[in-house]
Structure 1
Amino acid sequence: MFADTSYDALSMDDIAKQAGVAKGLIYYYFKSKRGYYLAIVEDSVAELVARAGADTELTGAERARRTIDGYLHYAEHHQAAYRTIVTGGVGSDAEVLAIRDAVREELVATIAEGAYGRRAVPPVARLALVGWLSGVEGTTLEWIGALAAQDVVGLPGRAGLAALLVRQLRATLTVIEEFVPECPAPPVLEETSGAAGDLGDQRPVTGSP
């Protein structure tokens, strides 16, 4: 409902009616419409982080790939919530921005752990990973926008987009190694080719497969 109606126009009566509960019950748990809205954002963030950070028993390269796929899966199936998280909510809401920053921090740490076996990395490495994640956010917003508009001619599916982002991550890790030798790029994982036209060939442009 928050995705389809402006925050100011949506009332607690509307929310209670849609939920099929008394308005007083919502106020009992959330105190206000803002409290309810922030709870929705926090719940969405928790699901995104949980999906992206799953499969911790996998090898580093496979875990990074699964993290990206889980991230895209969430964005594809929860488009309104994803936009809220990434763009900072209603009118650049300071509390939602804080939630967004927390999820970015967790995702960067998850990628660093998959790549280097540790969540904390030197500042230059962190800057590079944050830059890559910012690109992921912009790319994902563009992708789900095209999906919503059904403008899918030539658009990669989730697996294809994940392949593209994995390649970009590999390039970022290679650059990090050049600037921060104590953060060597992990070995490239052998990957199988997907369907033609869906960016299925996920091997790096340079280096050994």
Structure 2
Amino acid sequence: MNISQQRDAARPRSRGTERSLARRAELIAIGRRLFADTSYDALSMDDIARQAHVAKGLIYYYFQSKRGYYLAIIQDSVADLVSFAASGLELPAVDRVHRTIDGYLRYAEHNQAAYRTIVSGGVGFDTEVHAIRDSVREAIIATIADGAYGRGDIAPPARMGLLAWVCGVEGATLDWIDRPELPRDTMRELLVRMLGGALRAIEDLDPAYPAPQPARRNA
């Protein structure tokens, strides 16, 4: 077979791969809507297939299992949040922090079931869900460290201080989506002020990491 024939033979497979990836992405998009406010246990594979208007075998073909499908959905939705946290480098540090926290709260608000799964550990002790949670934590810590100190590689006291703040944010956000008594803007400002306290505590322990002076922002 010459080169031209080899290329011709490869084209159908390429088109097939593109169609396969598009179909998989479509199923994930459907799953994100289905699981946005519905827990893992509340939907059976029959329920999912019926609401998605697809054959159940198609979901098994692409994801092998219900758990595989759910993990793919969570990974896809969290990827948006992590990308958002890592972007906005052109913004002033204080604006980037506000933007990141607001995006985090919006994600939790609009993907409540998935957020609970990520923060609470998934179905039982799920190492893959924990890895997803840890990737979100590291993205938030890196964003805050870069804004506060101009670098993401920080000493253990500074990292632990920011990690403690992130863990506090997770617990407060879980309570907030269960009892949304505060507007999102108020919740965001509360978390920003808590961050200021964490940064000052880090400075007390390690003066090499001075807390940034808060900038005056318009309401």
**Is 1:52–1:69's contact at 8 Å kept on the other side of the alignment?**
no
C-alpha distance in 2 between matches for 1:11 and 1:66: 36
Task: Report what 2:38 is aligned to.
Answer: 4
SS of equivalent residue, structure 2 residue 128: helix
Q: 1:45 aligns with which of 41, 54, 78?
A: 78
Q: Say which one has the larger Rg.
A: 2
Matches within 5 A, 1:159-178: 159-178=185-204
Query: 1:6, 1:77 → 2: CA distance?
Result: 16
Q: Is the 8 A contact 1:52 1:67 kept in 2?
A: yes
Aligned to 2:67: 34
Determine the C-alpha separation between the residues in 2 that align with 1:166 and 1:5.
Answer: 30
Count of residue pairs brought into register by the alignment: 185
- The Cα offsets for residues 118-149 of structure 1, whole Å up to 9 and x where unpaired, read as 111100001100111111111111111013xx
CA distance in 1, matches of 2:141, 2:218: 26
Query: Structure 1 pair 69/6, CA: closer, same or farther in 2 (3 Å)?
Result: closer
Could you tell me how far apart the structure 2 residues matched to 1:54 and 1:40 are? Answer: 22
Structure 2 counterpart of 1:191:
217
Paired AA for residue 60 in structure 1: A
User: C-alpha deviations, 1:137-186, integer Å up to 9, x for none?
Assistant: 11111111013xxxxxxx32111111111111111111111211221111
Q: What is the CA–CA distance in structure 1 between the aligned matches of 2:189 and 2:104, rounded to whole Å?
A: 13
CA deviations on 1:70-93 (whole Å, 9 max, x unpaired) are 111111111111111111111232
Cα offset, 1:19, TM superposition: 0.8
Look up the equivalent residue of 1:182 and give its one-letter code: A
More helix by share: 2
- What TM-score results when the alignment is normalised by the length of structure 1? 0.81
TM-score with structure 2 length normalisation?
0.78
Note closer, same or farther for the CA distance 1:58–1:101 as it changes in structure 2 (3 Å cut).
same
* Residue pair 2:40, 2:70 contacting (<8 A) in 1 also: no
Give the root-mean-square deviation of aligned CA atoms: 1.7
Tell me which amino acid in the other structure corresponds to 2:62: Y
CA distance in 1, matches of 2:57, 2:214: 56
Aligned to 1:189, what secondary structure does the other structure show? coil
CA gap 1:82/1:189 in 2 versus in 1, 3 angstroms: same
Contact 1:113/1:119 (CA < 8 Å) preserved in 2?
Answer: yes
Partner of 1:76: 109
